[in-house]
Chain A
């Protein structure tokens, strides 16, 4: 379990993690927020459904994929928190959103 070892003065922002509001230090990545909240697994794999959590924290392993503001496949370790940001765990294969389906088919 990750704990704060004494963080410098920072402003806090409010993020929404799966309907729960949490105040988090500005400058944190989404992955840091999840780990600090004790969220160990952030997604299940599309292949076997195995749970996965952040691994490299530097944007190379793509294990920490989450849904941010409704957008799937976001690297939690590369995205920084913003006021009002919505964060959700990702389950299995990312779904293509209704906006994408609504796009006009150029063949028509």
Chain B
């Protein structure tokens, strides 16, 4: 590792890997920091060393990541795995911890490729042990060949069906899929069917997944309007309601999912401007056509800049890298445009399916703004809906003030698991648009850092420059 790079990329998912490859082609000195021990991000997690013997269970799309990972390893950029980036300043000073040693380096250009995380799913009992996310089920499948027999999957969105399908492929019993997609979404989504039909591969994939799940005899229960997790020391049953009556399924493992949203902690902490995306119901950094944010020299690529999926992330990563290379003076405007053209065309094609998916899998308000007063919103500090309602009633005007009122959002996850719920709850209580309520003010370090690490802060040796 050097003490200065022309380009620093945070995240080795599809966007980060593609950005590194593009930078290497043009000869900029680049570094890729990633928290995991191997490249791939969450979507291609463990793609170089998949844990399961049977490769077929994960589906064909997963293996695309292997080529990206190989390119990253071979392209000559400095790839630093196991690296936690806890700060990027507006002047692009990067604080990163590797193997317990915290370091400060600098970069002329930064690409934030920190991807997505799963949308909070605050229902009663979601904090019980053995209630996990669909994404976590997939991580365990990919990286450890572990699966939970007899689990219930509940929620909405492509990932939920994909993981249930992967379980079925692996011969693991799925007790039920409780589908929370509102029936009205199907009608609304037909409006975007024309665009979706121009991306038939995604429609076909969706149909194939659902057919596979049903063919395996898994009960697919649609129109679920209410959910609660039951259990004392861990979950023992899921209760759900479609109409008036509660139904009960005994289960010692539940996977929840209602879509993914940009992981904005780093981009917010840098000071990039974010706006509320009403179609995707999330905060999203403002970027120009080259992915550059409102902070000079800081670009955002991939799902971190709005959800478009793994393939789009790859094209965005490439486009953002070309933008950075242009700003570095490595390439001129003509070369930038020429090299970006294929990625731009592919990105436009990739985005065609999004309006359909966003409409069909738009999580309903009753699962985003929890109606039950006792539902925990902030898992870290155990703040429930009632406490937030009370704070707003006595004059709390936004997420930042709510911290002083209740400690909501002040735990180690730094709002990642409650931020969206809090913005939407306060908007609901005050009858104001979410865009006016805003989000937590996030500051570095965005991941916990020991004082000892800070006290012994290093800069890579000058000889490495």
Interface residues of A (CB under 8 A from B): 1-8, 10, 25, 27-29, 32, 35-36, 40-42, 45, 47-48, 50-63, 65, 73, 77-78, 80
One of A3, A52, A59 near B129 (C-beta < 8 A):
A52
Does B416 sit at the interface, judged by CB under 8 A? yes
A93 nearest CB across to chain B (Å): 12
Query: Is the Cβ of B136 less than 8 Å from the Cβ of A80?
Result: no
Q: A3-B147, A45-B382, A57-B133 known; 18 other A-B pairs, CB under 8 Å?
A: A2-B147, A5-B147, A25-B51, A27-B143, A32-B140, A36-B144, A40-B130, A47-B381, A51-B128, A52-B379, A53-B234, A56-B136, A57-B135, A58-B42, A59-B35, A60-B416, A78-B35, A80-B37
Interface residues of B (CB under 8 A from A): 35, 37, 42, 49-54, 57, 117-118, 127-133, 135-136, 139-141, 143-149, 170-172, 233-234, 252-253, 263, 379-382, 411-413, 416-417, 448
CA distance A62 to B417 in the complex (A): 10
Query: Is the Cβ of A53 less than 8 Å from the Cβ of B145?
Result: no
CA distance A57 to B382 in the complex (A): 20
A39 nearest CB across to chain B (Å): 9
Query: Is the Cβ of B52 less than 8 Å from the Cβ of A5?
Result: yes
Query: Is the Cβ of B135 less than 8 Å from the Cβ of A58?
Result: yes
Main secondary structure of the interface of A (DSSP, over half): loop
Query: Is the Cβ of A8 less than 8 Å from the Cβ of B252?
Result: no
CA distance A57 to B35 in the complex (A): 13
CA distance A65 to B412 in the complex (A): 10
A58 nearest CB across to chain B (Å): 6
Query: Is the Cβ of B448 less than 8 Å from the Cβ of A73?
Result: yes
B126 nearest CB across to chain A (Å): 9
A40 nearest CB across to chain B (Å): 4
Q: Mind listing 30 A-B residue pairs with CB under 8 Å?
A: A1-B252, A2-B146, A2-B148, A3-B149, A4-B146, A5-B52, A5-B147, A5-B171, A6-B145, A7-B51, A8-B51, A8-B52, A8-B53, A25-B51, A27-B143, A27-B144, A32-B146, A47-B381, A50-B382, A52-B127, A53-B129, A53-B130, A53-B132, A53-B234, A55-B133, A56-B136, A56-B417, A57-B133, A57-B135, A63-B379
Closest residue of chain B to A33 (Cβ to Cβ) is B144
CA distance A70 to B450 in the complex (A): 15
A35: chain B residues within 8 A (beta carbon): 140, 146
A62: chain B residues within 8 A (beta carbon): 380, 411-413
B413: chain A residues within 8 A (beta carbon): 60-62
B189 nearest CB across to chain A (Å): 28
A60: chain B residues within 8 A (beta carbon): 117, 263, 413, 416-417
A91 nearest CB across to chain B (Å): 14
CA distance A63 to B139 in the complex (A): 16
B233: chain A residues within 8 A (beta carbon): 40-41, 51
